[in-house]
Amino acid sequence: MFATGELIPTSSPRQPEPSQSEQATPRVLTILAHVLEKLVARNDRLLAGADGGKSLNAFHGVRAPNISILKYLERLFKYTDCSPSCFVVGYVYIDRLIHKYPDSLLVSLNVHRLLVTSILVASKMLDDVHQSNAFYAKVGGVSNAELNKLEMELLILLDYGVTVTCRVFESYCAHLEQEMLVNGSVLRIEKPVVMVDDGHAGGSTSTTNTTTEVSLVEEEEEEEEEEQEDGKLASLSTQKPATGSPAAHHRTKSL
């Protein structure tokens, strides 16, 4: 379990982030998808059959899923009920991995698994209430056992460095927004009004999950679209065997 000391409670009244009913797709999803799709496309071209490093092998699939990054992020947001801030913090985790292991690239074979794992951990750090690993696995298109292993792998690769200060959170929001400005779009990421001050112990961000509860059982008119999504996610269910994984010698369990 994460140490409770890393999350600092506050009695100040909080303004809720835009709920799903108020805004179907938070702007952060669109911005993040744009940034990641551009990075993945570039890295896929750079690899071209070359060795992309072994540090992120545990997250590699046999083939790239047919579902786009944006659709995948929308699916995670729609069903897991996590707050929009989790997507920024999940991006922070992925960026930390890339900088810590420069031999490993974010590519189409690993981006979906990295996203579902990092957002799962971010939700546990940020949200007062979060879904279980089994729920995230079902939504993300992987098995529960695999997601448990990926979660442990991510934590080990990060040396359990999952604290994100307000300053870091704001800087990543600014970076993502700047990426959109460069491309001629003016989009601002939704941010929680009250966050933990960097001066407090632990210094992590703290938000309240206020999005509307979503059941996996949707209206009949959505069933056909969901079946198509599930078909695209099927390619995530078969994982490429990884050797030399840092988590291979550690006991895996759901945190």
pLDDT surpasses 70 at 215: no
**pLDDT for the residue 25:** 79
The arithmetic mean of pLDDT across residues 60-66, rounded, is 91
The arithmetic mean of pLDDT across residues 27-43, rounded, is 94
**pLDDT for the residue 224:** 56
pLDDT surpasses 70 at 125: yes
The arithmetic mean of pLDDT across residues 202-223, rounded, is 37
pLDDT digits (tens, 9 = 90+) for 7-33: 333 333 444 444 444 456 788 999 999
**Topology of domain 25-162, CATH:** Cyclin A; domain 1 (1.10.472)
CB atoms within 10 A of CB 115: 25
Residue type present at position 187: L
The arithmetic mean of pLDDT across residues 75-95, rounded, is 96
Alpha helices of the chain — where are they, by DSSP H? Answer: 27-47, 69-80, 85-100, 111-126, 133-140, 144-157, 166-182, 220-233
Q: Residue 121 to residues 64, 174, 179, 218: CA-CA distances in angstroms? A: 23, 22, 25, 26
Extents of the domains making up the chain: 25-162
**pLDDT for the residue 60:** 92
pLDDT digits (tens, 9 = 90+) for 238-251: 454 444 444 443 33
**pLDDT for the residue 114:** 98
| Closest of 168, 176, 190, 184 to residue 35, by C-alpha | 176
**pLDDT for the residue 46:** 87
**pLDDT for the residue 227:** 58
pLDDT digits (tens, 9 = 90+) for 162-188: 999 999 999 999 999 888 775 555 556
